[in-house]
Amino acid sequence: MATRPSPRFSIIEVARKAGVSPATVSRAFNQPEIVHPDTLAHIRSVAKRAGFRPNRVGRSLRSGSTRTIGLILPTLSNPVFAECFEGAERRARESGYSVMLTATGYDPAVESAAVQGLIDHQVDGLILTVADVSRSATLNDLDSSGIPYVLVYNESSEHPFASVDNRAAASDMVAHLAAMGHKRIALVTGPLTASDRARRRLMGARACAKKLGLEAIQHISMSSHTGSDVDALKAALRGKQAPTALFCSNDLLATAVIADLVGLGLSVPADISVCGFDGMRFGALLTPPLTTVAQPSDGIGQTACSNLLAQINGQPAQSNRLPHCIVVGGTAASVRR
């Protein structure tokens, strides 16, 4: 005969065992950031020994808050977005929030459906990357709903965001390549319609090339944001005016391009230089290590979550541009004279 489970401990019983008030126990689970760390650790230890878990459903019904935020990213196959998730989720957990995650595959229709699905789950706010801020029906829906949100990686003068300055970052990389003697540089991206970040990087690269008197930046478009197209590379590298450096809009794309170049019998960087954008940790493990623009993806996620939680608590929305830097690896070298 099955035994009945023991009854759940209540907040009052946990408070009695911990020697604190029920209000303090409630704050430990609902607003842990305002509880003294020693007290918080003691309450959690008592609750764990007692097998106590807060009733989130009942709490949500009473407070009108689910203590859950939604996170919508294009993909998790690119480590840049996985790092963003880790930063956001860690910051949310510190404040007693859970995270619901979904990926859109760079598809605006999936993006819109994902937002609506999370709103239907009554999340308290959203962190998201959209395909194109200037044409996003998703953001119009969010503004109409009144739900707090913060963009990550997108930049906008009208919507709150956390990102690097994509134009400035791309400009810095072009200047770095120019300092090594490169005058013919191509930017390699996936479809620009699905990534306004790549489009801003192309704009920044072209503006820098014009300022420095370099040849106009060539644009090589791939069908995928993270996969190379060997035929597109062959076409771009034909002739005496072929680029001497390929600046890829993300690190995964850069590694795919390098693999195709090697398959074509070219050596990187002896025959052609390649660099990326993101600063993923795996880039340092390549031989030679990848030259790239590093952006603090974990910090972007953490900053966006902090801004979202501030909005949820009634503070005005704000935007943050985080610093980037050039990581000098071995895949870009001076032009042969």
Tell me the three state secondary structure of residue 285.
helix
Confidence of residue 204 (pLDDT cuts 50, 70, 90): very high
Mark whether 116 and 208 lie in a shared domain: no
- The Cβ of residue 13 has, within 10 Å, a number of other Cβ atoms equal to 17
Mark whether 194 and 244 lie in a shared domain: yes
Identify the CA nearest to 54 among candidates 89, 5, 9: 9
Domain that holds residue 316: 66-164+297-322
Percent of the chain with pLDDT over 90: 69
Residue 61 inside a domain? The answer is no
Mark whether 222 and 269 lie in a shared domain: yes
Mark whether 40 and 18 lie in a shared domain: yes
Mark whether 281 and 212 lie in a shared domain: yes
Residue 237 inside a domain? The answer is yes
Q: What type of residue sits at position 12?
A: I
Mark whether 303 and 282 lie in a shared domain: no
* Cβ atoms of 75 and 288 closer than 8 Å: no
Tell me the three state secondary structure of residue 242.
coil
Backbone dihedral region for residue 181 (phi beyond 0: left; psi -120 to 50: alpha; all else: beta)? left
**Chain segment 51-92, per-residue pLDDT in tens:** 777 665 445 444 457 899 999 999 988 899 999 999 999 999
Largest CA distance in the chain: 86
Mark whether 283 and 175 lie in a shared domain: yes
Mark whether 277 and 213 lie in a shared domain: yes
Mark whether 182 and 282 lie in a shared domain: yes
**What's the structural domain count of the chain?**
3
Walk across the sheet containing 149-152 and list its strands.
98-103, 68-73, 125-128, 149-152, 161-163, 320-321
Q: What CATH number should be reported for the domain holding residue 125?
A: 3.40.50.2300
**Chain segment 232-267, per-residue pLDDT in tens:** 999 999 988 899 999 999 999 999 999 999 999 999
Mark whether 301 and 183 lie in a shared domain: no
Residue 3 inside a domain? The answer is no
Q: Calculate the average pLDDT of the chain.
A: 90
Mark whether 134 and 172 lie in a shared domain: no
Walk across the sheet containing 291-294 and list its strands.
218-221, 185-189, 245-248, 273-278, 291-294, 325-327
Residue 334 inside a domain? The answer is no
Mark whether 70 and 152 lie in a shared domain: yes
Q: How far apart are CA 218 and CA 243, in angstroms?
A: 8
Residue 336 inside a domain? The answer is no
Structure confidence at residue 314 (pLDDT): 94
Residue 330 inside a domain? The answer is no
Residue that finishes a domain, picked among 261, 278, 296: 296
